[in-house]
Amino acid sequence: MCATMALNRFRYPHFTRTLTDFALLKYRSKHEGSARCLHACSSPTMSLIPIVLDKTTHGERAFDIYSRLLKDRIICLMGPINDEIAGLVVAQLLYLQSEDKKVPIHIYINSPGGVVTAGLAIYDTMQFIKPPVATWCVGQASSMGSLLLAAGAPGLRFALPHSRIMVHQPSGSAHGEFVYGAKLLQARLLI
């Protein structure tokens, strides 16, 4: 609501702008320090989420751009993958499956990678749902982002001409009696 008021205040005459500025100030002071205000009320350093108008037979309706894209079964995965982003993407995938189980879902990826468990939550959901998932690399798909790009349905994995994909060697460690036993066995075979 706060971002919508901030964007719409330029469409109205001076009197309405003054009222909107007052309501915006009141809203910010009421929700001071809350996560909702921090997300919705942008400062000069934070970017605004564009609002688009959708015309229907019932009139016009304003959507933030991501909600409008979701209506067209498009999910944007932009930035590092963490638990919060994974939760949003998983919820969007499940919602789109509940809407239609046959129409493909498109995920646009521009990510440097991120938390493995968060990325695997998205991966597992992509494999679990019924609709085919098309993946598009825009910008970069590195590390976990490249795994999600490869998780798209066969024949529905795309990369734009100037995008970059980076796959690195798996990393990890193992320890315990089995590992030490295998190393001991290898040493005995050398002797």
Q: Residue 139: which CATH number? A: 3.90.226.10
pLDDT level of residue 101 (50, 70, 90 thresholds): very high
Note whether residue 89 is domain-resident: yes
Antiparallel, parallel or unpaired: β 157-159 and 105-111: unpaired
Residues 159 and 101 in one domain: yes
Of 106, 111, 142, 143, which is the active-site residue?
143
This prediction's pTM: 0.67
Pairwise pLDDT comparison (42 vs 78), residue with the higher score: 78
For residue 106, give its domain range.
65-170
Residues 40 and 130 in one domain: no
19-53 pLDDT, tens digit each: 445 444 544 544 454 433 333 343 444 578 999 99
Distance CA 94, CA 1 (A): 26
Residue 168 annotated in active site: yes
Which uninterrupted H or E stretch holds 145? helix 144-150
Residues 86 and 121 in one domain: yes
Residues 112 and 166 in one domain: yes
**What average pLDDT does range 69-75 have in this prediction?**
97
Note whether residue 57 is domain-resident: no
pLDDT level of residue 176 (50, 70, 90 thresholds): low
Residue 43 annotated in active site: no
Note whether residue 161 is domain-resident: yes
Pairwise pLDDT comparison (6 vs 121), residue with the higher score: 121
Of 43, 168, 171, 175, which is the active-site residue?
168
Residues 106 and 150 in one domain: yes
**What average pLDDT does range 82-110 have in this prediction?**
98
What is the DSSP code (8-state) at residue 153?
Answer: P
Distance CA 1, CA 87 (A): 23
